[in-house]
Structures are given as structure tokens and as C-alpha cells.
Amino acid sequence: MKYRFILLFSMITLFGFSNGFAQDYKTAIKKVLDTWNDVAKKRDTDAFMHQFDNSDDIILVGSDSAEISMGRTDIKKFIGSLFAQFSFQWDYQSLTITGNENTAWAFTDGHMSVTDNYGKTLVTPYRFTAIFVKRGKEWKWKLYNGSIPKGEE
């Protein structure tokens, strides 16, 4: 009887810990996505790059066929050219976050708003997938892959 109680108590404790962890990383990734939205709206290239892992094997793939950037230098150049012309904001109508202790991934489906230097805004259906790695206490972007479900307009 004593061993059954210990086994049951251990399972409940382990389940409670893992469930708490799941909520913690999901909350952290949601916060990372909110920051992503904020810095893209403000066109802050340095803050945008700070969100990426500090390695050269990071990848950003946009919705257009030519929008493939690999490594910090290439991504910073690409983002800098975009932010010189546009600000961006995403409406996550659907958001799925999954992961483990050191890796997480997110899928969003919703809309992207692109505002040009004259204040004109284009809203289009948009979805993206992202992979994050945990570095210390922070979650960093490793891969971004965006798409327009109905194609470029």
C-alpha cells in the first residue's frame, strides 16, 4: 500500500510539474511573439535582431520567392531594407505553441498588416511557422517561415 501511494504521489507531482512547464514555455513564447509584433511595428532593426539566436545558422524565409535570408548579417540587411519602407504587424487569429525544455515551435494563422511610409496599410491573410531555442532564460528565434495562403497579390 505504501509503495502504491508513493508511486501515485510521484506521478501526480511529475504531471503537475510538466503541466506547469508547458504553461511556462507557452507563456514565454507568446511574449516573444508579442515583442516580435511590437518591434516590427516600430521598425526597430536592432531589437528585431536581438530576438534571434546569436548564431549564423538562423534562417528567415518570407512569403515572396526571393525572401530567403540566412545568417545574422543577411537577415539584418534584409530586415533593414524592409523597415526602411514598411512596418509590419500580425493578427494571430489562430496560434499553436508546442515544445520542450529547450526547443519550441509556433504556428500562426491570421493576417499581416503592412504599412508603408505614406501611411497606407495593406492587410492580407498570412501564416507563419517559427522555431525557437532556449538560451539561458530567453527564447530566441532560430527559424521563421512566412506565407500568404492565397499567394502574393
Could you give the CA distance from residue 92 to residue 110 in angstroms, rounded to a whole number? 5
pLDDT score recorded for residue 2: 56
Which domain range does residue 91 map to? Answer: 2-147
Q: Are 83 and 117 in contact (CB under 8 A)?
A: no
Residue 45 lies in a domain: yes
Residue 137 lies in a domain: yes
Q: Which residue carries 495593406 as its cell?
A: 122
pLDDT score recorded for residue 141: 97
Tens of pLDDT along the chain (153 residues) come to 555 544 444 444 444 444 444 568 999 999 999 999 999 999 999 999 999 999 999 999 999 989 999 999 999 999 999 999 999 999 999 999 999 889 999 999 999 999 999 999 999 999 999 999 999 999 999 999 999 997 555
Residue 42 lies in a domain: yes
Q: Which residue carries 531589437 as its cell?
A: 47
Residue 153 lies in a domain: no
Residue 152 lies in a domain: no
CATH number at residue 14: 3.10.450.50
Q: Which residue carries 514598411 as its cell?
A: 86
pLDDT score recorded for residue 150: 77
**42: nearest Cα among 79, 94, 93:** 79
**56: nearest Cα among 69, 40, 43:** 69
Residue 117 lies in a domain: yes
Coil, helix or strand at residue 70: strand
Q: Structurally, how many domains does the chain consist of?
A: 1
Q: Are 153 and 126 in contact (CB under 8 A)?
A: no
Residue 101 lies in a domain: yes
Residue 49 lies in a domain: yes
Q: Which three cell numbers stand for residue 133?
A: 531555442
pLDDT score recorded for residue 101: 85
